[in-house]
């Protein structure tokens, strides 16, 4: 099997350059179809920074287009980098379709081709003339399992279903796979004895367990889970282990962290299967760091960090695995599901529409899986369902981390088939997003949140909703994330680029200095207050004691050869409400009966996370329940 590799992108200077050609500077303008042979290069602006495009032409055709350097979102940009050059060369035109959902990067590549050819003295007018298209024909497909949505839950389901020998057709409305998960932080939570049992971690983490066990139980199920955690904790204290964890504690902490709104039945399944799902990922080639950490908003040191940028590693593993399923797996891109096909009360297929408006009908022999995600990026829906006392302003002026294709469509397809919707008012804001784009190209490490007054204002190891609300209350509704490192050329962001690169190219507001006084001046905060704030923070790191904001987990002080900061604001991120499903992913009606033939997995469901999703739990969710949906649909269970 030929593996799809993840490109590593390094950006060049944002200057137009033309490669050596003959002649180097044409004496006359050439028209399309009459080129000066050679290779021409241009550097243009992409969505997140410079992009360099290389174009090779013969006398009468564009021979090759290659994107040599870019800093677009890893994984996501792979699709236009591959598809736009193919389309340009095949059509010998610049009037080709962009990749749905990656429009800005697609247009940047086309702009690079045009700029390179213009810079070589060529007239590109003819290349920009509209292409006459042959009308697309209606299409019909039949498979054992039809999957709607090409994100993490959809691909997990496709692998599980084909593992059972079932045929699968998966449709994805955009031109790329990955959904919101391809641009996520890539962190994965689960108890992991090999990494946790003898880990050294600063802070009084045992107090978190003791506080949870001291709570008055709200029902018998809560009490039973507390008792199970208590037994796990007593066994831990009698051992030589240095860090406690268990599936029971993971389930209880996730439930508590969601204000006890989620379903404990679902959370027990989730927590019990989290580590087996991690092993499943690793069996497909997914790689994680060999150290455990506390992801932002995860509330506990059980976070596994992906070795690849953002969520790209998961999808490389998924796509490589599915590449071996020829004959069982079919993938239809830029194909949007519109409604479910019913046979009485049973779901038997999907009505969809192709890129060019053609009708696509999909028949399911065994079942349909909806894995279309949530609606945090859909302004109308988030205002309709989630705007209220907790989040009073969710309008269009609030940035989002969501990809444009994730708009909640599948939730209402399920509702139209009779499914009950639950917890639709629950939505999460991510605290640390680029104030302009909503991007999460943050650098992971020991962090300290500072407001414009130079002070800390919230526990950085707390709940995401509490952090987001606290940031909104600060001056200008923003904060600075302050960190340190010994080497700016090796400290990388979730997007894979180095701190040094971001500073050199003035991206995302990154500031850097070799001393805290200068950094404070760059930030525009009171120097003396800032210096005292960092000193107090470091003192708590050294003592490991809970601070005034309640922070209990630490890793290291803010000290080193390089100090840096970057501005961040909250952005809409994840919706916790959706379709009501049972613990085996069957969609349910309001009376609790199963809708035969319909399964749902991932962010489309509303049972799991409650009022606040713990950071690092979304990928666990789509792996655990995506696998289950695929297996159950394939078995007709």
| Count of other CB atoms within 10 angstroms of residue 515 | 10
Measured in degrees and rounded to the nearest 5, phi and psi for residue 289 equal -60, 150
Q: Token pair for residue 436?
A: 């302009």
Measured in degrees and rounded to the nearest 5, phi and psi for residue 315 equal -80, -25
Q: What residues contact residue 581 under an 8 Å CB cut-off, 6+ apart?
A: 587, 588, 599, 600, 601, 605, 607
d(CA 407, CA 397): 17
Catalytic residue among 464, 491, 568, 613: 464
Q: Token pair for residue 126?
A: 């003819």
Cis peptide bond prior to 23, omega within 30° of 0? yes
> How does strand 359-370 pair with strand 346-353?
antiparallel
138 HSE (CA, 13 A, CB side)? 6
The one-character DSSP state at 602 is G
For tokens 């990928």, name the residue.
Answer: 619
Cβ pair 258, 609 in contact under 8 A = yes
| Secondary structure in 3-state letters for 92-104 | CCCCCCCCCCCHH
d(CA 75, CA 178): 8
Q: Is 305 a catalytic residue?
A: no
Nearest Cα to Cα of residue 536 among 516, 561, 562: 516
For tokens 């997914």, name the residue.
Answer: 286
Cβ pair 599, 168 in contact under 8 A = no
- In 529-589, DSSP assigns E strands to 562-575, 578-579, 586-588
Nearest Cα to Cα of residue 326 among 175, 178, 162, 171: 162
Annotated catalytic sites, by residue? 464
């Amino acid at each position: 099997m030929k593996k799809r590799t993840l490109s590593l992108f390094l950006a060049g200077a944002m200057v137009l350059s033309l490669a050596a050609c003959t002649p180097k500077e044409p004496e006359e303008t050439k028209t399309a179809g009459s080129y000066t042979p050679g290779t021409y290069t241009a550097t243009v602006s992409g969505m997140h920074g410079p992009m360099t495009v290389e174009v090779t032409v013969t006398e009468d055709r564009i021979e090759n287009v290659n994107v040599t350097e870019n800093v677009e979102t890893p994984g996501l940009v792979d699709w236009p980098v591959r598809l736009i050059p193919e389309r340009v060369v095949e059509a010998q035109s610049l009037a080709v379709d962009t990749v749905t959902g990656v429009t800005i990067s697609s247009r940047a590549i086309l702009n690079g081709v045009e700029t390179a050819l213009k810079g070589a003295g060529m007239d590109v007018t003819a290349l920009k003339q509209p292409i006459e298209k042959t009308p697309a024909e209606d299409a019909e497909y039949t498979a054992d399992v039809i999957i709607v949505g090409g994100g993490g839950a959809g691909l997990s389901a496709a692998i599980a279903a084909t593992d059972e020998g079932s045929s699968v057709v998966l449709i994805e409305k955009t031109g790329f796979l990955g959904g919101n998960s391809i641009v996520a932080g890539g962190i994965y939570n689960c108890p992991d004895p090999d990494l946790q049992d003898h880990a050294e971690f600063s802070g009084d983490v045992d107090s978190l367990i003791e506080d949870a066990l001291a709570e008055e139980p709200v029902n018998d199920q809560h009490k039973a889970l507390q008792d199970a955690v208590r037994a796990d904790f007593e066994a831990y204290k009698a051992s030589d282990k240095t860090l406690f964890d268990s599936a029971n504690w993971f389930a209880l902490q996730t439930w508590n962290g969601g204000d006890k709104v989620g379903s404990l039945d679902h959370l027990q399944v989730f927590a019990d299967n989290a580590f087996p799902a991690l092993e499943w990922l690793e069996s497909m080639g997914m790689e994680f760091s060999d150290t455990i950490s506390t992801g932002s908003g995860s509330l506990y040191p059980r976070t596994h960090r992906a070795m690849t940028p953002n969520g790209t590693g998961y999808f490389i593993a998924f796509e490589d695995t599915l590449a071996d399923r020829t004959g069982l797996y079919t993938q239809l891109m830029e194909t949007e599901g519109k409604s479910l096909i019913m046979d009485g009360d049973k779901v038997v297929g999907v009505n969809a529409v192709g890129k060019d408006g053609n009708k696509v009908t999909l028949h399911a022999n065994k079942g349909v899986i909806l894995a279309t995600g949530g609606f945090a990026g859909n302004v109308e829906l988030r205002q309709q369902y989630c705007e209220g006392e907790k989040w009073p302003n969710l309008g269009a002026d609030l940035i989002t981390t969501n990809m444009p294709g994730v708009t909640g469509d599948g939730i209402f397809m399920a509702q139209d088939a009779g499914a009950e919707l639950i917890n639709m008012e629950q939505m999460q804001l991510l605290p640390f997003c680029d104030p302009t784009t909503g991007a999460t190209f943050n650098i992971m490490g020991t962090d300290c949140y500072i407001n414009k007054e130079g002070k800390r204002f919230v526990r950085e190891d707390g709940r995401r909703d509490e952090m987001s609300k606290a940031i909104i209350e600060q001056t200008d509704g923003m904060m600075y994330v302050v960190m340190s490192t010994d080497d700016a050329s090796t400290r990388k962001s979730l997007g894979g680029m180095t701190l040094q690169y971001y500073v050199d190219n003035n991206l995302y507001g990154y500031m850097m200095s070799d001393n805290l006084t200068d950094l404070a001046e760059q930030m525009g905060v009171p120097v003396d207050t800032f210096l005292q704030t960092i000193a107090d923070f470091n003192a708590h790191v050294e003592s490991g004691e809970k601070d005034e904001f309640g922070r209990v987990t630490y890793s290291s002080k803010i000290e080193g050869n390089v100090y840096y900061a970057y501005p961040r604001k909250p952005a809409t991120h994840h919706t916790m409400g959706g379709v009501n499903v049972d613990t085996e992913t069957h969609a349910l009606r309001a009376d609790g009966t199963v809708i035969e033939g319909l399964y749902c997995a991932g962010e489309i469901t509303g049972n799991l996370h409650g009022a606040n999703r713990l950071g690092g739990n979304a990928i666990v969710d789509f792996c655990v329940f995506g696998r289950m949906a695929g297996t159950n649909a394939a078995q007709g269970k």
